[in-house]
Amino acid sequence: MSLSKLQALGNQCLWAVDPAFTVDWTQRPPGAFGYTWDGKGHLQVSEHHDHLAIHDVAHVMICSPKRLKVPEFGLGPDPTGRWTYAASRTVTSKFAQEEESRACDLHWALVAYTETADRVIKVQNYLGMDPPKMKTLKAMEKYEALPADFLPTILKNWNLV
């Protein structure tokens, strides 16, 4: 299977967190195979389009090492209600919502770095969000997994400079 540019970036980001992590990009729904994140280092992509599937990679990047050992990062059931797995919540509802928001911002940025404007707009519509604010984008520089030109490329391509 040939990886898209977004899938390759997703792999790079996952392996920067832990080189032993694995990802299945075949886009099978988690209901048939368990969780999207199993808490053991395997990510099962659950969306049919890379520009949506990268959301789970964003979760891996921002999650604490302790919660990487918990299915679905300890955030509880799927907030969209599309998947019926019964993941346990190990954090407060407020924390889960805040982390979901951070994952959405990073998701947007990963797509904005690798994809065309129409795909980025689809992601914004799918997530029901506006582009992240400049302060939020600059805070992403702490993620060592991201390419050196990550932030400058997004700022330039989206006329944010």
Residues near 16 by Cβ (< 8 Å), separated by ≥ 6? 144, 145
Reported as a single tens digit per residue, the pLDDT across 108-126 is 999 999 888 888 888 888 8
Q: Per this entry, what is the length of the chain?
A: 161
Tell which residue, 146, 127, 131, 126, has the closest CA to residue 12: 146
Q: Cα–Cα distance between 46 and 145 in angstroms, integer?
A: 22
E strand or H helix at 24, and its extent?
strand 22-24
Give the global pTM. Answer: 0.87
Reported as a single tens digit per residue, the pLDDT across 55-89 is 889 999 999 999 999 988 988 877 666 665 677 88
| 8 A C-beta contact, residue 67 and residue 74 | yes
| Per-residue pLDDT at 110 | 93
The answer to whether residue 1 scores a pLDDT higher than 60 is: no
90 exposed, middle or buried (CB, 10 Å; 0-12, 13-18, 19+)?
A: middle
